[in-house]
Structure 1
Amino acid sequence: MARTLEATSEDFAAVRTGRANPGLYSKVLVNYYGSPTPLQQLASFAVQDARTILISPFDVTALREIEVALSSSEIGANPSNDGKVIRVVMPELTKERRQEYVKLVKSKAEEHRVSVRNARRSAKEFIDQMVDDGDIGEDEGRRAEKDLDDLTRKYVDQIDEMAKNKEEELMEV
């Protein structure tokens, strides 16, 4: 469940807001010498201003591949290459685009809630098996299920809170 919470945080960081954020590029893969490599392993990032990110590749020969990967990514930005660095200017978000991002955040949040519930189901099956095998008593099993339900509720509430905060951030003009 904790790993699901981390994945939720990473997914929400990849959903862009009106500000330039290097976290947007965490999921971009670059075809580097024939193998998909995360962009963050190939370049350093600097936020130049509120809407501009400077990407400086460690290997200048990878500049073209990085530019291609950025162009084909879902970020919706147009990179410009000056031969040494890549500048990415984030376009202003329209109201429609913001609403699309809110829908995306809601769907990602639901996926992660389902993941938490699946972890709960697996743990409940384990508890039931232990009760059936006689490893623990029925009272202990019920207590463990109650604790499991409380833990599940806690994680689902955290995911909901993260989604609410991201939606507010997206709708902020």
Structure 2
Amino acid sequence: MTEAIKVNVSEKMQKSLDSFKSDLAKVRTGRAHTGLLDHIVIDYYGSMVPINQVAGVNLGDAKTINVQPYEKSMVGKIEKAIRDSDLGLNPATSGDLIRVPMPTLTEERRRDLIKVVRTEAESAKVAMRNIRRDANDSLKKLIKEKEISEDDERRSQDEVQKITDKFIAEIDKLLQTKESELLAI
């Protein structure tokens, strides 16, 4: 019974950690990478689809992402979606190729991005704590129903706390890495 709760906690925390990692990938450093555009969706004949389903996305060089639409009619929509995204990018079109240059990061912009990253990290930690709280509530419910002893509940709570500490340490490590990437010139 308690083993299932611990497995559930680990799975949920891993999903939260994966979500945090994908959020960090969206915060750009000075270099271009194709994952930066992954969350952008395009209106494709009435359906919202990810950019990589309507165009080929690859690196032109270290500071440029090239987007090659599969259909010429999609150039304007893709360019508008990139421009309207929260990334602060300004794409340039030449023929049917969209070039997305990465502007250099100013010191002020780097500080703003670090604040964003720290906020994301705190949100991920809150999610971890909520998962821990839910697990502890489940354990208390089991003790009320007399399915486990108080000692088992205490032991299980300690193990859930160890799992939580492990995932929070991983978040802190990812945060430190991203901050150092952002500060590197």
- TM-score (normalizing by structure 1): 0.96
Partner Cα separation in structure 1 for residue 138 and residue 58 of structure 2: 47
**Candidates 40, 49, 56, aligned match of 2:68:** 56
Partner Cα separation in structure 2 for residue 71 and residue 10 of structure 1: 21
Paired position in structure 1 for 2:34: 22
Structure 2 stretches lacking a partner, 5+ long: 1-12
SS at match of 1:86: strand
- TM-score (normalizing by structure 2): 0.90
User: Aligned-pair distance for 1:42?
Assistant: 1.9
Paired position in structure 2 for 1:71: 83
Paired position in structure 1 for 2:57: 45
SS at match of 1:78: coil
**Candidates 121, 128, 149, aligned match of 2:133:** 121
Percent identical residues = 38
Partner Cα separation in structure 2 for residue 49 and residue 17 of structure 1: 15
Partner Cα separation in structure 2 for residue 3 and residue 142 of structure 1: 25
User: Aligned-pair distance for 1:35?
Assistant: 2.6
Question: Alpha-carbon deviations, 1:95-142, whole Å to 9, x = none?
Answer: 000000000000000011001111111111111111111111111111
The 5 Å alignment of 1:3-14 reads: 3-14=15-26
Structure 1 stretches lacking a partner, 5+ long: none
Instruction: Flag as ranges the 4+ runs of structure 1 deviating above 4 A.
Output: none
User: Aligned-pair distance for 1:32?
Assistant: 1.8
SS at match of 1:93: coil
- CA-based RMSD: 1.0
Aligned residues: 173
The answer as to 2:144 corresponding to 1:132 is yes
User: Aligned-pair distance for 1:24?
Assistant: 1.0
